[in-house]
Each structure stands twice: as C-alpha cells, then as structure tokens.
A and B are shown apart, each in its own frame.
Chain A
Amino acid sequence: MSEEIRVPIASDADTIVARQRGREAALRLGFSRTDATFVATAISEIARNITVHAGQGEIIIRGLSEEGRDGLVVIARDEGPGIRDVAAVMRQEYASEAGLGIGLWGARRLMDEIEVASQPGEGTTVTMKKWCGFDEVGRLLDDRRPSDPTPGS
C-alpha cells in the first residue's frame, strides 16, 4: 500500500471513518484481525484528542517499509492549543479516566512506537507505528475462527 489515506477530523463521526480506514489499511497490509483492532482502537483515542482538545485536524495513514520490516504509520495532526509537558503526559502523570492522558497512554500500549511533537499554541502531531508479524495472540484468534476454512476439512 503506497497510497496515503487522509481523513479530516472535525467531529466525532469522522473518528469512526478514520478508525475504519485504519483497520482496512492494516488488513490490506497483512496485519491480523487483532492487530488491525489495536490500530483502530489507537486511532479512536488520538482522534478523540483532536476533537476534544483542538476541534479539528487530520489523520494520515500509510504503509511503511523500513529495514526489511513492513508496517503502518498513523499521523494525527492538529493546530490546537498543544501540550505543555509532553513527557509528563507520556509518563501518564495526567492520565485519568477522563483526561488527555488516557488516549495517548492507551495508544502507546496498542502500537509499537509513538512520538508526540507539541508546543503550546502550535498544535500537536502524534506519529505512531505498528509493525507486522509480532502478534501471536492475534494469529491464534484468527486461526480459531469457525468461519475460516481449516486444513483438511
């Protein structure tokens, strides 16, 4: 997948579109259904940060190929108020069930890499990556789906 998917985020309905596009992209790139769900869930969290804190922004999804690994990158960009102390947010000092922290914190656990670039007054860019092929549980779950054809049946 060399094309880039861009989803403008202006309302919480756009979040549904972004996570669906992210899931589809992940499946096209060969991710397991479980990993595609991780990607969709992480997108849901960072898209919410855009609608709640910045009002609008965009999410960009594209395939990745680096050092012999394939994966997917999601970039969430807004021109909102920004984050004063990114490091503190990432350490989960602000994370509460209702707060800004929970989304970034969750995205970090669901994706393989996450970077947050932000300055007060200059918006926020979250870049997160997930690599194909490390998902043992996902493969087990996918293999066990009754609808999937099983060898010898």
Chain B
Amino acid sequence: MRVATGELRQACPCGYLIASIQSALSDTEVVELRDSLLVEVARHRSRGVIVDVAALDVIDSFVSRSLSTVARTNRLRGAKTVVVGIRPEVAVAMSHFGLGLDAVDTALDLEAGLELLDR
C-alpha cells in the first residue's frame, strides 16, 4: 500500500511489514505513518515491522515518540519493530538531545533489520 509518507509493503513470505520513508515528514504525516503502521500490522497479522528512516535528515522528539509508540503498541500485539537506517549525524543529534527510542530495536540497514527479526 502507499501512504502519503512512503511505502508500506508486506515482505513475503517472511510475514514482515516494511515501511520505507521517502522524504522529510511533517508532524501530520508522522501521525499518518504511525497510524497506518498500526492498522497494517493488524491487517496483515505481521510478526515484525521494519521502518526505514534513512531518508530522514532530522529525527526530533515527535518522530522519536511516534516510533516508540508504534513499537510499544506492536509489542503488545506480539509484533517486533525494528528501525533501520538512522544516519550517523542524526544518531549523534538524538544522543545529545537524549532521545533514545524506548522499546525500539534498531539495525544498521534493511538486511540487518531482517536478520534481527529472524533471530
């Protein structure tokens, strides 16, 4: 499926949902993405979700909180969430800020994210 913010696809046959963010997001779009992720995970009965944030040149408190919400909600439904592709300079900024992505697993890229889910 397409959402305004990027692309959600079910990665067959592994049963994971992959959301690849395509461009900078407004807060409204972050909320749309968060809600689509929650709905699609339920609809596809996904066991895992990968959110690729390599296109984001800023991860601020709002994006960080939204990703944590997705991860916590998915976890209650038995699905794991892995955020992949955080840029190095974004990671440094998040760390200075004190944004830690509660409950979210992270991996370097899509491949590493899939490995993490398979574990």
Residues of chain A having any CB pair with chain B under 8 Å: 11-13, 15-16, 19-20, 23, 33-34, 36-38, 40-41, 44-45, 48, 51, 97-98, 102-103, 106, 109-110, 137-138, 141
Interface of A, helix, strand, loop or mixed by DSSP: helix
Whether A109 pairs with B96 at a CB distance below 8 angstroms is yes
Which residues of A lie under 8 Å from residue B98 when comparing CB positions? 106, 109
Whether B58 pairs with A40 at a CB distance below 8 angstroms is yes
The 7 closest A-B pairs by CB, nearest first: A34-B89, A12-B27, A12-B26, A37-B89, A44-B60, A106-B97, A37-B93
Question: What is the distance, in angstroms, from B115's C-beta to the closest C-beta of chain A?
Answer: 22
Which residues of B lie under 8 Å from residue A51 when comparing CB positions? 27
Number of A-B contacts (CB under 8 A): 67
Which residues of B lie under 8 Å from residue A33 when comparing CB positions? 89
B15 within 8 A of A: no
Which residues of B lie under 8 Å from residue A16 when comparing CB positions? 24-26
Residue of B nearest to A22 (CB): B58
Q: How far is the CA of A129 from the CA of B61 in the complex (A)?
A: 20
B88 within 8 A of A: yes
14 A–B contact pairs at CB < 8 A? A13-B26, A34-B89, A37-B57, A37-B93, A40-B57, A41-B97, A48-B60, A48-B62, A97-B61, A109-B96, A109-B98, A137-B92, A141-B88, A141-B92
**Pick from A34, A41, A103, A137: contact of B58, CB under 8 Å:** A41
Q: How far is the CA of A32 from the CA of B57 in the complex (A)?
A: 14
Whether B28 pairs with A41 at a CB distance below 8 angstroms is no
Whether B27 pairs with A41 at a CB distance below 8 angstroms is no
Whether A38 pairs with B60 at a CB distance below 8 angstroms is no
Q: How far is the CA of A54 from the CA of B26 in the complex (A)?
A: 17
Which residues of B lie under 8 Å from residue A44 when comparing CB positions? 58, 60, 62
